[in-house]
Amino acid sequence: MTTLVIAEHDGAQIDPSTLNLLGAASQIGDPVQLLVLGHDCAAVAQAAAALAGVSQVLLADNPQWVTPSAETLARQIEALMPAYDLLVAAHKMLHRGALPRAAARLRAAYLSDVVAIESAHRFVRPMYAGSVLARMETQSAMTLLTLRPTGFAPAVGTQGACPVVDVATVTPDHRSRLENRETMGSDRPDLSRARVVVAAGRGVGAREHMALIEQLADHLGGAVGASRAAVDAGFAPNAIQIGQTGKSVAPDVYLAFGISGAIQHLAGIKDAGFIVAVNKDPDAPIFSIADVGFVGDLFDVLPALTAGLPAAVDTA
């Protein structure tokens, strides 16, 4: 049978996470097709067709995909899926709304936040905020899954372009509507892909103290993240929350300042390479998973690190 992957792109370029999705899908060993949903994005479809391992690109070109609703995407998936036995999509809000709806209508299995693929029917996903990894086996002939792109090696290479086929866009479902999107203007790297993340917890104490976190992040060419407690306290915007109900990050180095290390926060940093924690409480749980821990006041440690660390981290 054939696996269908929903491509991630910004309307002009393929997002690198698409390569991770393809890398994951290729582990099954079946032919892989790519679905490009967008408007005026024929160039994206052509670029997708040249990605190694893609046997066909489906292009659904329609203005409605600029601000899609989960209900409409569910309809589109329902229309396409009978030709496939596995759908792979990034674990993001839109897909988390659309795939369960489509799975219910298709009587297919749905699994979310998959971090490993063992076969076409066996998958691994975290449960209880990442405290356990569960191996799930699906019994259904059709499986729809969202997965964590950072958990999979990207597909590499290009090929002579495969066919690009136009597919009919379904009638939109207007029961919910995306009103607008606000992009946070920032020169910092994208949090989900940054190689260095400097994160603030409730311990930073005030919004104005975030400047110390931002200075270190900028010095290291990294992104800024925050715990939910820091977001709830108004120190940082919701868009940079890391954890079970926020973003998952996979940097080479994760620096946590004034973060206690609740399991819901740790769920989002499972794939971090090297963890540095600074906390004035020597019994803070974050020290049990940190590679390096400083017991101390973050207001002493942060300026010292910004002054003392070389600013030569390559984030390309």
Ligand X SMILES: Cc1cc2nc3c(=O)[nH]c(=O)nc-3n(C[C@H](O)[C@H](O)[C@H](O)COP(=O)(O)OP(=O)(O)OC[C@H]3O[C@@H](n4cnc5c(N)ncnc54)[C@H](O)[C@@H]3O)c2cc1C
Instruction: Provide the minimum distance between the beta carbon of 127 and ligand X in the complex, in angstroms, as a whole number.
Output: 13
**Is the Cβ of residue 18 or residue 241 nearer to ligand X in the bound state?**
241
Find the angle CA(172)-CA(10)-CA(35) to the nearest 5 degrees.
55
159 φ/ψ angles, rounded to the nearest 5 degrees: -145, 170
Q: How far apart are CA 267 and CA 286, in angstroms?
A: 12
Q: Can you tell me the distance from the alpha carbon of 124 to that of 135, in angstroms, rounded to the nearest whole number?
A: 4
295 binds ligand X (CB under 6 A): no
Number of residues counted as binding ligand X (CB under 6 A)? 28
Q: Is 298 in the site for ligand X (CB under 6 A)?
A: yes
Q: Which amino acid is at 142?
A: M
Q: What is the C-alpha separation between 196 and 312, in angstroms, rounded?
A: 12
Q: 302 is written with which tokens?
A: 């942060």
In the complex, minimum distance from the CB of residue 87 to ligand X, in angstroms, rounded to a whole number: 26
Question: CA separation (Å) from 82 to 8, 96, 108, 159?
Answer: 22, 20, 10, 27
Cα 63 to Cα 74: distance, rounded to the nearest angstrom: 17
Select from 86, 223, 259, 290 the one that contacts ligand X (CB under 6 A).
259
Q: Binding residue for ligand X (CB under 6 A) from 38, 53, 126, 243? A: 243
* Binding flag, residue 260, ligand X (CB under 6 A): yes
What's the min distance (Å) between Cβ of 260 and ligand X?
Answer: 3
Comparing CA positions, the residue from 209, 235, 213, 234 lying closest to residue 222 is 213
Cβ closest to ligand X, residue 46 vs residue 245:
245
The reply to whether 244 sits near ligand X by the rule CB under 6 A is: yes
How near is the Cβ of 136 to ligand X at its closest, in Å? 21
Q: Which of 19, 217, 284, 290 binds ligand X (CB under 6 A)?
A: 284
User: Which amino acid would we find at residue 139?
Assistant: Q
Subset of residues 148 to 177 that bind ligand X, contact rule: CB under 6 A:
none
Q: Does 258 bind ligand X (CB under 6 A)?
A: yes
Position with the least CB separation from ligand X: 243
Query: Which CB atom, from 55 or from 245, has the smaller least distance to ligand X?
Result: 245
**In the set 69, 150, 241, 306, which binds ligand X (CB under 6 A)?**
241
DSSP string covering 172-227: P-TTS----------SSPPTTT-SEEEEE-GGG-SGGGHHHHHHHHHHHT-EEEE-
Residues 197-236 that bind ligand X (CB under 6 A): 201-203, 227-230
The binding site for ligand X (CB under 6 A) comprises: 201-203, 227-230, 241-246, 258-260, 262, 264-265, 268, 278-281, 284, 297-299
